[in-house]
Amino acid sequence: MVHDLREFIRGVEELGELKRVEDADWNLEIGSLSEVVGATPNPPMLLFDSVKDYPKGYRIVTTVLGTVRRFALAMGFPEMGDERAMVEYWRRRLKEGLKPIPPVEVDSGPITENVQRGNEIDILKFPSPKWHVLDGGRYIGTGDAVITRDPDEGWIDVGTFRVQVHDKNTATIWMSPGKDADIIRRKYWAKGEACPAVVVPGLHPLLFFVAGMRLGWGVSEYDYAGGMLGQPLEVIKGMATGLPFPARAEIALEGEIVPPEVETREEGPFGEWTGYYASSIKPVAAFKIKTVYHRNDPVLLGCTPLMNYRASYGGSLRRAALLWNELEAIVPGVKGVWLLEEAKGTYMLVISIKQMYPGHAKQVAMAASSGLTGAYHGRYIIVVDDDIDPFNTAEVLWAMATRCDPETQIDIVRGCWSTPLDPIIPPEKRKQGDFSASRGLILACKPYHWIKEFPPSFKLSLEEQKRVKEKWAWLFK
């Protein structure tokens, strides 16, 4: 079990999956290198040091959770080698349930090695990259956690949002409407108050991963992360806000998000996970920083969306396990679930089933499109037979090409739940605040009513493939 980002970096190096990079430019080069390297099979994690214009020791780490082995290390899971094994492990963990463990407050920790207040504050001393060519500026927060407290109920929310640097003590935090932290800050603004917040752009990868989950209103990500770790997170109470933030974090920026009528800054655009600059330049409430904490030789956790890097990889592993469990509870015959990373994860769900009756494949597709996990911001749901491995994109495409008649086996469902980041939503719908989109249900299965007459395939079964790989393991190393 690793306890912070530094222990994780050491663990990745022991796995042989770390590459150190010296003298890269914060202006586009770090983003470009991360994208090109991240597109390779089993991409290494990159640790940038001696960044241009910055002293040695002020580091940035990218392509963090890009392999099953690194994801398992970050989560404290046993080592495993492929997506199917990881998804099946997640399924078991989810079925067993997770006992939340609240954080414990401590007086000090490595994060307090350096503390600046007032005129000492200068967040420009951290090598925040400009990640993409058309980005509106430099972003210190991509692989981060933003900590807020509900003013009415008192619970702590930990979410992930992009954070743009504007000057020595001012940033902006872009929040998608309706997220928990957005609701929380609006509660403060309705009272004419600023919203206390702490931005943590260098932290344990597990907490960053949990901060990106949808856990439900009133559920603190700190408690969930503690449950996954099997021990409470150690937190320190901020001097300016009283908010708890991780004692072993690398960097923490403490301050307040002022009401928009007090001060805004122009934010964006930013290259989002969809592969597009999906949000335009807009005025966003200023985040005024009152205290900066950081460890000696701090490490910035970069998890910016990149075109060909699997930035959503960890989320896909968990969502596939969640969806598999959901479907298994209501329909029979589900044999596998995966989200195609080549299509940005959530856009294409693949479900393999053993067909058992007429209409079975469509029932599964409709259940997936309306369930808790699969309803949000999807595009296609693809159902394949159980001889197709949903984790193998080539096999999925083969099934779509040879088993799906577009006239009879594709359906369109309109008015589905989407997001402002969805690039296909037209301008007229955006102006109306209508962020819904259609969903394609693709039944790439052998037609059930003549399934026994469908031409047989010479493809090896999954069991046969497994036997070959086990007997001749040395050929696959």
Q: Which of 8, 135, 20, 143 is nearest to 73 (CA)?
A: 8
Tell which residue, 26, 31, 55, 10, has the closest CA to residue 308.
31
Residue 361 pLDDT exceeds 80:
yes
pLDDT digits (tens, 9 = 90+) for 84-141: 999 999 899 888 888 999 999 999 999 999 999 999 999 999 999 999 999 999 999 9
Confidence at residue 310, expressed as pLDDT on a 0 to 100 scale: 58
249-280 b/e with 16+ CB inside 10 Å = b? Answer: bbbbbbbbbbbeeeeebebbbbbbbbeebbbe
User: Which of 438, 434, 321 minimizes the C-alpha distance to 369?
Assistant: 438
pLDDT > 70 in the chain, percent:
98
**Looking at the predicted structure, is the pLDDT value of residue 213 above 90?**
no
Average pLDDT of the residues in 187-206: 97
Counting every residue written for the chain, the total comes to 477
Q: Which helix (H) or strand (E) holds 416?
A: strand 410-417
Instruction: Tell me the C-alpha to C-alpha distance, in Å, between residue 248 and each of 64, 110, 320, 459.
Output: 18, 5, 31, 51
Question: 308 pLDDT band (50/70/90 cuts)?
Answer: low
Rg (CA), the chain: 23
Kindly report which listed range (24-28, 36-40, 261-265, 358-362) carries the lowest average pLDDT score. 36-40
Encode pLDDT of 426-447 as tens digits.
Answer: 989 988 989 899 999 999 999 9
Categorize the per-residue pLDDT at 176 as very low, low, confident or very high, splitting at 50, 70 and 90.
Answer: confident
User: Quick one: pLDDT at residue 307?
Assistant: 56
For residue 291, give both structure tokens: 């205290």
pLDDT bin (cut points 50, 70, 90) of residue 29 is very high
- pLDDT for the residue 466: 81
Domains and CATH numbers, the chain: 99-301 (2.30.110.10), 313-476 (3.40.1670.10)
Distance, CA of 354 to CA of 66 (rounded, Å): 31
Render pLDDT for 31-40 as a digit per residue (tens, 0 to 9): 999 988 888 8
Mean pLDDT taken over the chain: 92
Q: Tell me how far CA of residue 311 lies from CA of 209, 308, 322, in angstroms.
A: 11, 9, 19
Mean pLDDT of 341-356: 88
- For residues 155 and 310, the model is more confident at 155
Buried b (16+ CB within 10 A) or exposed e, 40-54: eeebbbbbbbbbeeb
Average pLDDT over residues 41-60: 95
Q: How far is CA 230 from the centre of its chain?
A: 22
Which tokens belong to 121? 């504050």
- Bridge-based pairing of strands 299-301 and 59-62 is parallel
408-436: average pLDDT: 90
pLDDT at 64 over 60: yes
pLDDT of residue 205: 95
Residue 475 binned pLDDT confidence (cut-offs 50, 70, 90): confident
